[in-house]
Amino acid sequence: MSGDKLLTMSLIRRSLFRLLVCLVCLTAGALAGTAAPPNIVLITVDTTRADRMGFLGSKRGVTPNLDILARRSVVFTHAYSQAPFTAPSHATILTGTYPQFHQVEDFQVPLWKELPYAPAILKAHGYQTAAFVGSIVLDPSQGLAVGFRRGFDTYDAGFHLAHPGEDHYTSTDRRAAVVVEHALAWLNKRPAGPFFIWVHLYDPHFPYEPPEPFLSRYKSAPYDGEIAYSDSALGKLLTYLRAHGLFENTAIAMMSDHGESMGDHGEEFHGFFLYDATIHVPLLMKLPGDRFAGKRIENHVGLVDVLPTILQAVGIEVPQEVQGESLLGMMQPKPPAASGDPPPASSPNPLVYSETEYGVRAYGWSAIRSVRTGKYLFVEAPRRELYDMAADPKAEHDLAATSKAVADTLQAQLDAFRRKTSKNGEAPPSVSDPEAQEKLAALGYTATSTDSAATAAMGGGADPKDKIEIGNMMGEANYLLEVTRLDEAAALLKKVIAKEPNLWIAYAKLGATEANLGNLPESVKARRKSVELMPSDANLHFELGKVLMQAKDYEGAVPELEIVVAKMPDSWKTHLMLAISDDRTNRLPQAVKECEAVLAVLPEQYGTNLLLGRDLVLLGKPEDALPRLMKAASIRPRAPEPHSVLSEAYAKLGRNEDAERERDAAKRLAENGPVPGPSEP
């Protein structure tokens, strides 16, 4: 059968689903009309593998609270994430759209305000909305999850980059218990009416270091300990809901955004591959009134289906743009087979799509895409892969070469699916702000190269399968950078470079590390190499310019910063750095121009007013300098410098009395220290 035919059949099945789901929806709507609207609790536990869940058959005993919840829920045994990465996966969960549609492929692509978005939809239906997240990577105030705040009355995050020596649990992320505590505090004080809360726990993400007693109890399996600890925190949330009579009339959806490879197919963490270790995820849905409690759904479903399911479960119409399918139809008992058609609720697994652009965006390798359909897992990559998951659940025997026709069909299906589900038109521009890039870099995340982001397609680089050792080493280096173990990070990055001498990102990170260690010449060397390998990336020029300035090589910094202002004319920070470098290298007219660019955005900048005033005096324009210098003096009345330059300006204008007064003011301020009160003109 051709790929198109398979796709058409799958689409027909899906429209039958929709029909059935509408009926379910009507029932839910009728119920909602007579009773209070149900509350909604969305729980995402980061980096949590499906095979650790007791309710999915794990014997490890790490999820007692979730197992109890599962008995009141519908359990999805074959739920799959659409992306093995925090931002794109959460964007899919919260919008019900695929990554190729919402395009939040990494931390800095903003979530468009036109996208359907759970909190915005629910707020419009009278819900109180609140988010409680566990990591800076989902903190919109830090420029990393841009657009995620929309529709939330409360967005409880408040993270910052760790200061040297500061613990990551008090800076970039926080323990599950703290997240849950904040959620409970909010629930205690919430206004009347239905609520939607999103609780995100980050603990199972590397590093695996659960608190006691889980640390001792899971000494040999600390990752399991993190999951057990998260489960215990969720136990408190569920106990609260029960104790306050909220459990019954609340829809609770629990899932993870992706799993963790832990060595599967050679991958340590997550992001590069699309095998079950990172893509098969836990998914529970407890419906209001515990409808269909205890039901197990074996069909393949995606996290993209969560939002439409929740909306229909509480009787809210699903926006047209939502691409996922409500799963309520699957939960219904099978209707009697009246016609010749098979009942839609028992339709076999539709196609489940996943992708990752981590390889191409972060390292210039290749993107990877996959479909799971029937018994097959097909992976599109420079060397494509095909697995029969029924016979080979660990995906160890690649059939792509021997079952070429199947692989071709699935490739055609994948292409057709992408064509139908991709967003047409311009991609939203990434936030190309050097400060946000620095924040990402300090977190160990890769600042996306503007050029590789634009490629969007597969990328055409190396197959991540061939590069996974480098990927793992970079993952460890990222962690060492995040916890500021800089010597170890530098040593590891040098090892990476020895193996992969053309990896620009390794040089960029080494450059940052050496600068933080105070080794400026080493930093300049590494930064220069990164620019040489990726000359189109403005952020790399910015970082090179910055470290050259630190090393007092202003002559070298000027051309780098000029490249940056040409590409990012809105970056006032770059204009300021260029102004200083121009000034230090006696390019005074250029310095004046750059100062003016800064002051157009930030007119109250003390240093820029002073610098501009001084350079105008040096250029023989003392008249023009006066207002700038007076401004500087008024911004910092205790600083002697503006008065000292004012005195020069007045002297050049022949206003000797004014010059003398300013000289005295400067002298007095310098000698007597700070003088309170506004300065004289």
Give min distance, CB of 148 to Zn ion, in A.
Answer: 14
Give min distance, CB of 110 to Zn ion, in A.
Answer: 18
What are residue 42's DSSP bridge partners?
A: 198, 253
Give min distance, CB of 39 to Zn ion, in A.
Answer: 25
Pairing of strands 128-132, 280-286: unpaired
Site for Zn ion in 388-427 (CB under 5 A): none
Site for Zn ion in 217-236 (CB under 5 A): none
Nearer to Zn ion, 81 or 312 (CB): 81
CA distance 273 to 367: 9
Nearer to Zn ion, 47 or 450 (CB): 47
Q: What is the 3-state secondary structure (H, E, C) of 575-606?
A: HHHHHHHHHHCCCHHHHHHHHHHHHHHCCCCH
End-to-end CA distance of the chain: 85
Q: Which stretch binds Zn ion (CB under 5 A): 85-93, 146-154, 456-464, 613-621?
A: 85-93
Strands (E), 8-88: 39-45, 74-80
Give min distance, CB of 380 to Zn ion, in A.
Answer: 23
Nearer to Zn ion, 260 or 582 (CB): 260
Q: Which stretch binds Zn ion (CB under 5 A): 17-25, 251-259, 317-325, 544-552?
A: 251-259
For helices 222-243 and 64-71, the axis angle rounded to 10 degrees is 50
Site for Zn ion in 660-679 (CB under 5 A): none
Q: Which of 644, 650, 634, 648 is nearest to 667 (CA)?
A: 644
Q: Which stretch binds Zn ion (CB under 5 A): 84-92, 302-310, 372-380, 628-636?
A: 84-92
- Measured between alpha carbons, how far is residue 301 from residues 469, 472, 494 in Å? 31, 29, 43
CA distance 414 to 348: 18
**From the list 44, 86, 100, 312, which residue makes contact with Zn ion (rule: CB under 5 A)?**
86
CA distance 181 to 202: 14
Q: Which stretch binds Zn ion (CB under 5 A): 257-265, 308-316, 561-569, 661-669?
A: 257-265
Give min distance, CB of 87 to Zn ion, in A.
Answer: 8
CA distance 241 to 119: 20
The structure tokens 């007791």 sit at 54
Q: Which of 134, 159, 148, 128 is nearest to 88 (CA)?
A: 148
Q: Which stretch binds Zn ion (CB under 5 A): 80-88, 446-454, 482-490, 640-648?
A: 80-88
Give min distance, CB of 149 to Zn ion, in A.
Answer: 19
Give min distance, CB of 448 to Zn ion, in A.
Answer: 17
Q: Which stretch binds Zn ion (CB under 5 A): 21-29, 95-103, 255-263, 289-297?
A: 255-263
Q: Which stretch binds Zn ion (CB under 5 A): 207-215, 256-264, 357-365, 615-623?
A: 256-264
What are residue 385's DSSP bridge partners?
A: 379
Q: Which long-range contacts (CB under 8 A, 24 or more apart) does 219-227 make?
A: 221/60, 223/260, 223/262, 224/52, 224/60, 224/62, 225/62, 227/45, 227/48, 227/52, 227/62, 227/63, 227/203
Q: Which stretch binds Zn ion (CB under 5 A): 14-22, 253-261, 337-345, 589-597?
A: 253-261
Q: Which two tokens stand for residue 463?
A: 């197959």
Burial 279-288 (b: 16+ CB within 10 A, else e): bbbbbbbbbb
- Measured between alpha carbons, how far is residue 173 from residues 125, 176, 179 in Å? 32, 10, 10
CA distance 460 to 469: 19
Nearer to Zn ion, 200 or 587 (CB): 200
Q: Which stretch binds Zn ion (CB under 5 A): 78-86, 450-458, 466-474, 642-650?
A: 78-86
Nearer to Zn ion, 201 or 510 (CB): 201
CA distance 156 to 355: 29
Give min distance, CB of 84 to Zn ion, in A.
Answer: 8
Give min distance, CB of 85 to Zn ion, in A.
Answer: 6
CA distance 51 to 34: 40
Nearer to Zn ion, 86 or 411 (CB): 86
The structure tokens 């323990």 sit at 175
Nearer to Zn ion, 257 or 648 (CB): 257
Nearer to Zn ion, 84 or 545 (CB): 84
Q: Which stretch binds Zn ion (CB under 5 A): 44-52, 182-190, 238-246, 335-343?
A: 44-52
Nearer to Zn ion, 270 or 541 (CB): 270
Nearer to Zn ion, 46 or 268 (CB): 46
Give min distance, CB of 203 to Zn ion, in A.
Answer: 11
Give min distance, CB of 261 to Zn ion, in A.
Answer: 13
User: How many residues sit close enough to Zn ion to count as binding (CB under 5 A)?
Assistant: 3
Nearer to Zn ion, 84 or 315 (CB): 84
- Examine residue 257 and tell whether it contacts Zn ion (CB under 5 A): yes
Hey, what amino acid is at 184?
L
Give min distance, CB of 355 to Zn ion, in A.
Answer: 15
Give min distance, CB of 418 to Zn ion, in A.
Answer: 23
Give min distance, CB of 421 to Zn ion, in A.
Answer: 22
**Cis preceding linkage at 64, omega within 30:** no
CA distance 105 to 361: 9
All residues at 6 or more sequence positions from 210 whose CB lies less than 8 Å from its CB, including other chains = 203, 218, 222, 225, 226, 228, 229
Q: Which stretch binds Zn ion (CB under 5 A): 81-89, 292-300, 328-336, 428-436?
A: 81-89
Instruction: Give CA angle at 149 (148, 154), nearest 5°.
Output: 140
Nearer to Zn ion, 69 or 303 (CB): 303
**From the list 37, 46, 74, 324, which residue makes contact with Zn ion (rule: CB under 5 A)?**
46
DSSP 81-121: -S-SSHHHHHHHHHH---HHHH---STTS---TTS--HHHH
- Examine residue 354 and tell whether it contacts Zn ion (CB under 5 A): no
Give min distance, CB of 25 to Zn ion, in A.
Answer: 31
**Closest residue to Zn ion in the complex (CB):** 86
CA distance 438 to 327: 41
Nearer to Zn ion, 88 or 622 (CB): 88
Nearer to Zn ion, 361 or 614 (CB): 361
Nearer to Zn ion, 85 or 353 (CB): 85
- Examine residue 105 and tell whether it contacts Zn ion (CB under 5 A): no
Q: Which stretch binds Zn ion (CB under 5 A): 79-87, 302-310, 354-362, 609-617?
A: 79-87
Instruction: Give CA angle at 98 (52, 413), nearest 5°.
Output: 95
Nearer to Zn ion, 88 or 350 (CB): 88
Nearer to Zn ion, 231 or 257 (CB): 257
Give min distance, CB of 146 to Zn ion, in A.
Answer: 17
All residues at 6 or more sequence positions from 500 whose CB lies less than 8 Å from its CB, including other chains = 467, 470, 506
Give min distance, CB of 135 to Zn ion, in A.
Answer: 8
For binding to Zn ion (CB under 5 A), which residues are involved? 46, 86, 257
